[in-house]
Amino acid sequence: MAGSGACGSAHTSPVHINRQQPPSIFTNTDGQKVALITGVTGQDGSYLAEFLLKKSYKVHGVIRRSSSFNTHRVEHLYEHPNFRMHYGDLTDSMNMCQLLSTIKPDEIYNLGAMSHVKVSFDMSEYTADVDGVGVLRLLNAIRSCGLERTCKFYQASTSELYGKVREIPQKETTPFYPRSPYAVAKQFAFWSLVNYREAFGMHLSNGILFNHESPRRGATFVTRKITRAVAAIHRGTQSQLELGNIDAKRDWGHAKDYVEGMWMILQQEAADDFVLATGETHSVREFVEKAFLEVGITIKWRGEAVNEVGYDSADDNRVLVKINPKYYRPTEVDLLIGDPSKAKKGIRMAGKNVFLRSRQGNGGGRHQTSRLRQFYTVLKTHTALCRAGFDKLIVPNDCILAELFVSRVSKTDRKSWRAARVLRDIRAAPVRVV
């Protein structure tokens, strides 16, 4: 029953959707599992909501109040009878308490965060409040509402914790060395979980996730920034791409694989911490080269450090990539590569790296040809949609988007694959550029 814990019987107002649903459908009285997702409007939150709804969960999402729309990734779920959103913020303890006492979730996925590493240097105190103390607020809310024996909790921990890496590859036992206010805040959160798990026997698990990307990735993260720029350069609407440290290396997986991993982590009998990674790493520079190759441009480099430029090998004067120190971070994380052995064994998680394959790459042969054919089908469809005036709704000619999607198509699915499925994903992709 709502309100039995110390938080009282406070009532929370759901966002304007599903008003016709009686509140009872969203309580776990009928054996259906109930999940609460903070950060449901983000890349991972939106995929996780879809994943849990398919598993017949009742899904509650927390949406931040904003004067502009921030729901583009979840709008397609509005009509789902088992999906509901509530206004909330990780900086507001009472709000968290009210939500938990009303919803009484079986599982909480805490994905809400100020998630941009560079921005965390500009907004360090806010980042600490949301990404660090915000987690403690939620943990305390679970206890205050008397849910510590029934509610499992997933925390979105991060490979950024390894920062200036002490070991290659990084695994669960690798010491942390955070290199940004974001990572420091996430370290506070990580250890808060471990402490409450040991102190109060709560089911609290950290997923230490390496970078994961998708068509829904925010446009200021490097993969989307590059692929959007390459697509725009290809279409002639942009002339150059400006980047910071192109020698940083990352272990890039697909967000859809990783949200499944989050769920698997919470299905464990005993709470534990897991690295989710692909075990493969690539530099931003390589990523740039492969992305341009997808539109038929071979990038060559000349100059050094801030004076280095990437130019079109077919035209020495056509500089396409420039370094802008404004994108440098005060302290950088140079190399991330995860060792997912524990997850592979413990939760049977297998993530695939989503790094772009080049036309001339090693992966050639019939398989590669078929992937490329699909890729070009997608590009053509994008172009058609742009002409039809959809360019405000979609991210046109987004190379990685196409490639990522194609990489999700299994051999058996391949024959029945349709561009429409890609387009559905594109439509749900973000279009804001900050």
Residues that are catalytic: 158, 160, 182
Determine if 225 is a binding residue for ligand GDD (CB under 6 A): yes
Pick the stretch among 21-29, 69-77, 171-179, 221-229 that binds ligand GDD (CB under 6 A).
221-229
CB of 231 to ligand NAP, least distance (A): 20
Determine if 210 is a binding residue for ligand GDD (CB under 6 A): yes
Q: CA-CA distance, 278 to 338, in Å (whole number)?
A: 7
Structure-block tokens of residue 61: 């999402």
Distance spanning both ends of the chain, measured CA to CA: 43
Q: CA-CA distance, 43 to 257, in Å (whole number)?
A: 12
Pick the stretch among 30-38, 55-63, 219-227, 379-387 that binds ligand GDD (CB under 6 A).
219-227
Which residue type sits at 156?
Answer: A
Identify which of 29, 77, 23 has the alpha carbon closest to the alpha carbon of residue 49.
77
Three-state DSSP class for residue 318: strand
Cβ neighbours for 244, distance < 8 A, ≥ 6 positions apart: 323, 324, 325, 326, 327, 328, 329
Determine if 290 is a binding residue for ligand GDD (CB under 6 A): no
Q: CA-CA distance, 245 to 266, in Å (whole number)?
A: 36
Give the footprint of ligand NAP on this chain (CB under 6 A): 38-39, 41-45, 62, 64, 66, 70, 89-91, 111-115, 130, 156, 158, 209, 211-212, 218
Nearer to ligand GDD, 80 or 249 (CB): 249
Cβ neighbours for 271, distance < 8 A, ≥ 6 positions apart: 152, 197, 202, 203, 204, 205
The answer to whether the CB of 107 falls within 8 A of the CB of 35 is: yes
Q: Which does 70 bind (CB under 5 to 8 A by kind): ligand GDD, ligand NAP, none?
A: ligand NAP
CB of 146 to ligand GDD, least distance (A): 32
Q: Which does 48 bind (CB under 5 to 8 A by kind): ligand GDD, ligand NAP, none?
A: none
Q: Please return the burial class of 236, using the count of CB atoms within 10 Å of its CB with bins 0-12, 13-18 and 19+.
A: exposed
Q: CA-CA distance, 175 to 162, in Å (whole number)?
A: 7
Three-state DSSP class for residue 269: coil
Q: Which does 243 bind (CB under 5 to 8 A by kind): ligand NAP, ligand GDD, none?
A: ligand GDD
CB of 214 to ligand GDD, least distance (A): 11
Determine if 124 is a binding residue for ligand GDD (CB under 6 A): no
| Position among 284, 343, 399, 401 found at the interface with ligand GDD (CB under 6 A) | 284
Sequential DSSP letters for 5-17: STTTT---PBPSS
Determine if 196 is a binding residue for ligand GDD (CB under 6 A): no
CB of 63 to ligand NAP, least distance (A): 7
**Which single residue brings its beta carbon nearest to ligand GDD?**
248
Q: What is the binding site for ligand GDD (CB under 6 A)?
A: 115, 117, 158-160, 210-211, 220-222, 225, 243-246, 248, 250, 284, 327, 329, 332-333, 336
